[in-house]
Amino acid sequence: MTAGPAALGIDVGGTKVAGGIVAADGTVVAIARRATPGASVTDTEDAIVAVVEELAACHDGELVGVGVGAAGWFDSTGDTVLFSPHLAWRNSTLRKDLAARLQRPLWVGNDADAAAWAEYRYGAARGADLALMITLGTGIGGGIVLDGRLRRGSHGVAGEWGHMRVVPDGRLCACGNRGCWEQYASGTALGQTAREVARTSPAAAAGLLERVDHEPDRLTGEDVARAAAEGDPLALELVTEVGIWLGQGIADLAAVLDPEVVVIGGGVSKLGEMVLAPARERLDRALPGRGFRPGPRIAAAELGPQAGLVGAADLVRQDLAALGHRGPTDRTAAK
């Protein structure tokens, strides 16, 4: 691991801004959180700055810099958030804005890229020559680490496989298209399917409806996840369906990229084998050339919900260690 002092990592998601002080070995030594005011660019940046200031104030030692992983599509330079399906960023100069306010060395990039890097450095993808990260949360994000470097694509938006179209003319997605993968294999999808079943078959969804005072529109993916963990039959069926969709998508990715390992993180991954077992089964059945070629290993993320902030902290440390020569986050080398 890279030696050196701690760095500060921030993970900006659809519902919360989470920050941590991260030691050089990947250990998180302090945590702070704020709700994400996602409807406002300025308010979201205020929340990021507030988390940074809170953590910096409680840390006695040196902080080498701040890494920010954000839920959005960045341009090839990493300076501008082109679009965020679940937040207000539209061609937003996030790096410039934060650099002016924080006055610290700064890395800014996609949150799933940061999580992918964390799992490659410290977690389930250690040593892999080609690792893919899939983050299952409000939507589906992703990251690619190949030959020890993040790969962001020619325009900076590689790994957004949550927006692969899997159902022609399917559910409307926040990205503007219909039938995207994240509409069928995410926390949002889990909640939406539960609400649809509860409206049309309230008897079948009785256990779920009891949790929300028999108001189906209040059901969320978290409600279903908790019910599944407690053995509710419908909830288990819905979680299995998400796992099947997950496995199908991984089979499609394997046909294109042939990864060694696919790491599953994000909030939905806390369901563990309830979602991963059906994903593996579906992958085995759907992998192109199955029986004649190896497929990827599917592994649960080892760093859990802290992967994004751990990766972001390490990426700012890596940038500083590079001292001007091409490193793992170099804007040209990462293509």
Tens of pLDDT, residues 156-210:
999 999 999 999 999 999 889 999 999 999 999 999 999 999 999 999 999 999 9
Residue count (the chain): 335
CB count in 10 Å sphere of residue 201: 11
Domains, the chain, in order of start with CATH, read 6-120 (3.30.420.40), 127-300 (3.30.420.40)
Record the tokens describing residue 321, joined without a space. Answer: 């260690």
Record the tokens describing residue 19, joined without a space. Answer: 């920050």
Beta strand pairing call for 106-110 and 63-70: parallel
Q: What is the mean pLDDT of each run of 10 residues along the chain (335 residues)?
A: 76 90 95 92 95 93 93 89 89 95 95 96 96 92 95 92 94 93 95 96 96 96 94 97 97 97 91 96 96 95 93 95 53 37
In the Cβ-directed half-sphere of 118, how many Cα atoms lie within 13 Å? 35
CA distance 78 to 108: 7
Cα distances (Å, whole numbers) of residue 150 to 34, 73, 183, 223: 28, 15, 26, 35
The phi and psi torsions of 65 (rounded to 5 degrees) equal: 170, -175
CA distance 14 to 267: 12
Q: Which of 47, 39, 42 is nearest to 10 (CA)?
A: 47
Average pLDDT of every residue of the chain: 92
CB count in 10 Å sphere of residue 39: 9
pTM of the entire predicted model: 0.88
Residue 60 backbone class (left: φ over 0; alpha: ψ -120 to 50; beta: rest): alpha
